[in-house]
Amino acid sequence: MRKTFQRQVILEELRVTKDHPRAAELYARVRHRIPTVSFGTVYRNLRMLRDQGLIQELTLGDEASRWDGNYSLHYHFTCQNCGQVQDLEVEPDSRWEAKIECLTGLAINHHRAEFYGLCSDCRN
Amino acid sequence: MRKTFQRQVILEELRVTKDHPRAAELYARVRHRIPTVSFGTVYRNLRMLRDQGLIQELTLGDEASRWDGNYSLHYHFTCQNCGQVQDLEVEPDSRWEAKIECLTGLAINHHRAEFYGLCSDCRN
DNA sequence: ATAGTTGCAAAGCATTTGCAACAGA
DNA sequence: TCTGTTGCAAATGCTTTGCAACTAT
Supply the mean pLDDT for chain A: 95
The C1' atom of D22 and the CA atom of B33 lie apart, in whole Å, by 19
Length of chain A counted residue by residue: 124
Predicted local confidence at residue B124, as pLDDT: 82
Position B21 pLDDT exceeds 80: yes
Tell me the sheet residues that pair with B107. A118
Tell me the sheet residues that pair with A117. A79, B108
Predicted local confidence at residue B4, as pLDDT: 98
Question: Across residues A99-116, what is the average pLDDT?
Answer: 95
Contacts 24+ apart (CB under 8 A), A97-101: A97/B115, A99/B90, A100/B77, A100/B88, A100/B90, A100/B115
A59/B57 CB distance under 8 A: no
CATH code that applies to domain B75-123: 3.30.1490.190
The C1' atom of D21 and the CA atom of B57 lie apart, in whole Å, by 31
Which pairing describes strands B85-87 and B76-79: parallel, antiparallel, or unpaired?
antiparallel
The 10 Å Cβ neighbour count of residue B40 is 8
Chain A residues within an 8 Å CB radius of B116: 108-111
Which pairing describes strands A56-58 and A66-68: parallel, antiparallel, or unpaired?
antiparallel
Q: Which CATH class is domain A5-68?
A: mainly alpha
C-alpha–C-alpha distance, residues A119 and A124, integer Å: 9
B89/A104 CB distance under 8 A: yes
Q: Which among A61, A88, A108 has the least Cβ separation from residue B59?
A: A61
3-state secondary structure of B36: coil
Predicted local confidence at residue B61, as pLDDT: 78
Q: What is the pLDDT of residues A49-92, one digit of tens each?
A: 999 999 999 999 768 999 999 999 999 999 999 999 999 999 99
Chain B residues within an 8 Å CB radius of A114: 111-113
The CATH 1.10.10.10 portion of chain B extends over 5-68
- Secondary element (H or E) of residue A79: strand A76-79
Please state whether strand D lies within 7 Å of residue B52 at its CB atom: no
C-alpha–C-alpha distance, residues B123 and B110, integer Å: 32
Q: Using alpha carbons, select from B104, B29, B21 the residue that is nearest to residue A117.
A: B104
Q: Which among A62, A96, A113 has the least Cβ separation from residue B112?
A: A113
B107/A123 CB distance under 8 A: yes
H-state helical runs in chain A: 5-15, 23-33, 39-51, 95-104
The CATH 3.30.1490.190 portion of chain A extends over 75-123
3-state secondary structure of B66: strand
A62/B61 CB distance under 8 A: no
Q: What is the pLDDT of residues B22-61, one digit of tens each?
A: 999 999 999 999 999 999 999 999 999 999 999 999 999 7
Position B62 pLDDT exceeds 90: no
Q: Does A90 touch chain B (CB under 8 A)?
A: yes
Predicted local confidence at residue A76, as pLDDT: 97
Position A93 pLDDT exceeds 90: no
Please state whether strand D lies within 7 Å of residue A62 at its CB atom: yes
The C1' atom of C15 and the CA atom of A40 lie apart, in whole Å, by 9
Q: Which residues contact A115 (CB under 8 A, 6 or more apart)?
A: A75, A76, A77, A78, A88, B97, B100, B106, B108, B110, B111
